[in-house]
Chains A and B, each alone.
Chain A
Amino acid sequence: MAKASASSSGKSKPAAAKTTPKPDDGDNFALRSLQEALDKQKRFKADNDQLLHFYEQMLLIRRFEEKAGQLYGLGLIGGFCHLYIGQEAVAIGLQSALDNDVDSVITGYRDHGHMLAYGIDPNVIMAELTGRAAGISKGKGGSMHMFSTEHKFYGGHGIVGAQVSLGGGLAFAHKYNEDGGLCLAYFGDGAANQGQVYETMNMAALWNLPIVFVVENNQYAMGTAVRRSSAETEFYRRGTAFRIPGMEVNGMDVLEVRQAAEIAFAHVREGNGPVLMECNTYRYRGHSMSDPAKYRTREEVQEQREHHDPIERVKKDLAAVGVDEDKLKEIDKAIRATVAEAADFAETSPEPEPSELYTDVLVEEY
Chain B
Amino acid sequence: MAIELKMPALSPTMEEGTLAKWLVKEGDTVSAGDVLAEIETDKATMEFESIDEGTVGKILVPEGTEEVKVGTVIAILAGEGEDVSDAAPAAAEAPAAEEAPAVAEAAGKPAAKERPADPDIPAGTNMIKLTVREALRDAMAEEMRLDERIFVMGEEVAEYQGAYKVTQGLLDEFGPKRVIDTPITEYGFAGIGTGAAMGGLRPVVEFMTFNFAMQAIDHIINSAAKTNYMSGGQMRCPVVFRGPNGAASRVGAQHSQNYGPWYASVPGLIVIAPYDASDAKGLLKAAIRSDDPVVFLENELVYGQSFEVAQLDDHVLPIGKARIMREGSDVTIVSYSIAVGVALEAAEELAEQGIDAEVIDLRTLRPLDTATILESLAKTNRLVIAEEGWPTCSIASEVVALCMEEGFDHLDAPVLRVCNEDVPLPYAANLEKLALIDKDRVVAAVKKVTYTG
A residues contacting B by CB (< 8 A) are: 1-7, 66, 69-70, 72-75, 78-80, 104, 106, 135-141, 145-149, 154-159, 162, 164-174, 176-177, 195-196, 199-200, 202-203, 206, 286, 289-294, 336, 353-364, 366
Instruction: Please tell me if B25 contacts chain A, counting CB pairs below 8 Å.
Output: no
- Cross-chain contact of A172 among B9, B187, B199 (Cβ < 8 A): B199
- Cross-chain contact of B208 among A4, A137, A357 (Cβ < 8 A): A4
A74-B6, A162-B223, A166-B191 given; name 4 further pairs at CB < 8 Å: A136-B232, A139-B232, A172-B192, A363-B291
Q: How far is the CB of B430 from chain A (nearest CB, A)?
A: 20
Q: In whole angstroms, what is the CA distance A4 to B212 when docked? A: 11
Instruction: Please tell me if B110 contacts chain A, counting CB pairs below 8 Å.
Output: yes
Are the CB atoms of B46 and A291 closer together than 8 Å? yes
Q: 26 interchain pairs (CB within 8 A)?
A: A3-B208, A5-B248, A66-B33, A66-B49, A73-B10, A147-B230, A147-B235, A149-B234, A155-B227, A156-B230, A165-B192, A166-B198, A169-B192, A169-B194, A172-B201, A173-B195, A176-B151, A177-B201, A199-B189, A203-B185, A203-B192, A290-B44, A291-B46, A354-B101, A363-B228, A364-B291
Chain B residue contacts of A199, Cβ below 8 A = 183, 185, 187-189, 191
Q: In whole angstroms, what is the CA distance A356 to B106 when docked? A: 9
Chain A residue contacts of B364, Cβ below 8 A = 366
Give the size category of B's interface with A.
35 or more
Q: How far is the CB of A105 from chain B (nearest CB, A)?
A: 12
Are the CB atoms of B183 and A206 closer together than 8 Å? yes
- Cross-chain contact of B44 among A136, A141, A159, A292 (Cβ < 8 A): A292
By beta carbon, the residue of chain B nearest A75 is B9
Chain B residue contacts of A162, Cβ below 8 A = 191, 218-219, 222-223
Q: How far is the CB of A301 from chain B (nearest CB, A)?
A: 11
Chain B residue contacts of A146, Cβ below 8 A = 231
**A361-B228, A362-B292, A363-B228 known; A169 and B191 CB under 8 Å?**
yes
Chain A residue contacts of B11, Cβ below 8 A = 289-290
By beta carbon, the residue of chain A nearest B48 is A73
B residues contacting A by CB (< 8 A) are: 6, 8-12, 14, 32-33, 41, 43-46, 48-49, 51, 70-71, 101, 103, 105-110, 115, 151, 155-156, 163-165, 177, 182-185, 187-201, 203, 208-209, 212, 218-219, 222-223, 227-236, 248, 251, 255, 267-268, 270, 290-292, 318-320, 364, 367
Q: In whole angstroms, what is the CA distance A138 to B235 when docked? A: 13
Q: In whole angstroms, what is the CA distance A360 to B183 when docked? A: 34
Q: How far is the CB of B192 from chain A (nearest CB, A)?
A: 4
Chain A residue contacts of B228, Cβ below 8 A = 360-363
Q: In whole angstroms, what is the CA distance A5 to B233 when docked? A: 42
Chain B residue contacts of A1, Cβ below 8 A = 184, 212
Which are the 6 A-B pairs with shortest beta-carbon distances? A169-B195, A165-B191, A199-B188, A173-B199, A73-B8, A138-B232
Q: How far is the CB of A69 from chain B (nearest CB, A)?
A: 7
Are the CB atoms of A2 and B251 closer together than 8 Å? yes
**A75-B9, A159-B218 known; A168 and B195 CB under 8 Å?**
yes
Interface centre among B12, B183, B203, B218 (most CB of A within 10 A): B12
- Cross-chain contact of B107 among A66, A79, A355 (Cβ < 8 A): A355
Chain A residue contacts of B155, Cβ below 8 A = 3
- Cross-chain contact of A140 among B106, B209, B230 (Cβ < 8 A): B230
Are the CB atoms of B232 and A141 closer together than 8 Å? yes
Are the CB atoms of A363 and B292 closer together than 8 Å? yes
**A154-B235, A168-B191, A289-B10 known; A140 and B197 CB under 8 Å?**
no
Chain B residue contacts of A357, Cβ below 8 A = 103, 106, 108-109
Q: How far is the CB of A122 from chain B (nearest CB, A)?
A: 16
**A147-B231, A169-B192, A202-B188 known; A358 and B33 CB under 8 Å?**
no
Are the CB atoms of B106 and A169 closer together than 8 Å? no
Are the CB atoms of A361 and B268 closer together than 8 Å? yes
Q: How far is the CB of B301 from chain A (nearest CB, A)?
A: 12
Interface centre among B8, B188, B233, B270 (most CB of A within 10 A): B188
Are the CB atoms of B164 and A159 closer together than 8 Å? no
Q: In whole angstroms, what is the CA distance A145 to B232 when docked? A: 10
- Cross-chain contact of A6 among B9, B14, B43, B163 (Cβ < 8 A): B163
Chain B residue contacts of A353, Cβ below 8 A = 107
Chain B residue contacts of A177, Cβ below 8 A = 200-201
Q: In whole angstroms, what is the CA distance A137 to B212 when docked? A: 33
Q: How far is the CB of A307 from chain B (nearest CB, A)?
A: 20
- Cross-chain contact of B200 among A4, A7, A173 (Cβ < 8 A): A173
By beta carbon, the residue of chain A nearest B269 is A362
Q: In whole angstroms, what is the CA distance A26 to B234 when docked? A: 46
Q: In whole angstroms, what is the CA distance A366 to B289 when docked? A: 13
Are the CB atoms of B235 and A149 closer together than 8 Å? yes
Chain B residue contacts of A293, Cβ below 8 A = 44-46
Are the CB atoms of B9 and A155 closer together than 8 Å? no
Chain A residue contacts of B189, Cβ below 8 A = 199, 203
Are the CB atoms of B222 and A159 closer together than 8 Å? yes
Q: In whole angstroms, what is the CA distance A73 to B12 when docked? A: 10
Q: In whole angstroms, what is the CA distance A154 to B195 when docked? A: 9
By beta carbon, the residue of chain A nearest B190 is A165
- Cross-chain contact of B229 among A3, A80, A149, A361 (Cβ < 8 A): A361
Are the CB atoms of A157 and B223 closer together than 8 Å? yes
**A78-B12, A364-B291 known; A176 and B229 CB under 8 Å?**
no
